[in-house]
Amino acid sequence: MRGSATTKPTSGQRIGKDRKNAMAFVPAPNQVLVEWRMIRAGQKIENTLHVNMLAEPVISEMTDLAVACWDWWENTLAPLTSVGVLLVSVVVTSLHEADGVQYTYAPDTTTTGEIVGLSLPNEVTLCVSLRSGHRGRSARGRFYVPSLVFDQMLDENNVEAAAVDAFRTALQQLINDVTDLGKQANVVSYRTNNAPRPGGPVYFPYTSAVVVDSIVDSMKSRKPGVGE
């Protein structure tokens, strides 16, 4: 397939960026990590999502998931995103075992956001909370939108209601799209009470997307010169 590749990832690729004191790889049976890799104003940024494949991940199903996640970004998130954000690739990595396979989908180099206008700084974002119906932080996920533009702002600190609801709806659509593939978007919880879970990671399937408030959030790693 044009723009795609299958590889055996390194340990750093399997668990994301190498960080000091990162814990050793812990298998998450049946799980894959989806990464939307983007560039904004010369800065590499990303969003991630864990997906339960409900069986050991295989390349054919990882390919279907990567294509669906690319299409979701292009068709659903791009209309809410600054034209200055370029989607580079969608990478799906098996977390089933330490040497699990990885699939990269990059069909073109022209897929960008669609909103023309002045953007807020890279690190300014809105957090969409992904809920599983279980209590506690370990049962929730977060998705920080790739960009905000001034036309989406109500005032200096708050995103307007229509934009908030559009982002929430977009993330709910992502959950639904994964479900339609026969898979589950979910939290993979490796720790509880500040310690590794003794029986291995626990999964909490997402059921809804919620925006708790309209106040903007910040991601320092997206600030130019701070991240990659």
Q: How far is CA 18 from CA 31, 120, 218, in A?
A: 20, 28, 22
| Best CA proximity match to 226, nearest among 36, 17, 83, 33 | 17
Q: pTM of the entire structure?
A: 0.89
CA distance 34 to 46: 10
Beta-carbon neighbour count of residue 179 at 10 Å?
Answer: 14
Residue 156: DSSP 8-state? S
* pLDDT tens sequence for the chain (228 residues): 556 666 555 333 334 444 455 568 899 999 999 999 999 988 999 999 999 999 999 999 999 999 999 999 999 999 999 999 999 999 999 999 999 999 999 999 999 999 999 999 999 999 999 999 888 777 899 999 999 999 999 999 999 999 999 999 999 999 999 999 999 999 999 887 777 888 789 999 999 999 999 999 999 889 887 766
For residue 129, list its beta bridge partners: 142, 210
Q: Retrieve residue 48's tokens.
A: 């991630």
Q: How far is CA 59 from CA 5, 66, 93, 98, 104, in A?
A: 10, 10, 10, 16, 10
Work out whether the CA dihedral 163, 169, 173, 179 comes out positive or negative.
positive
Cα 124 from chain centroid (whole Å): 17
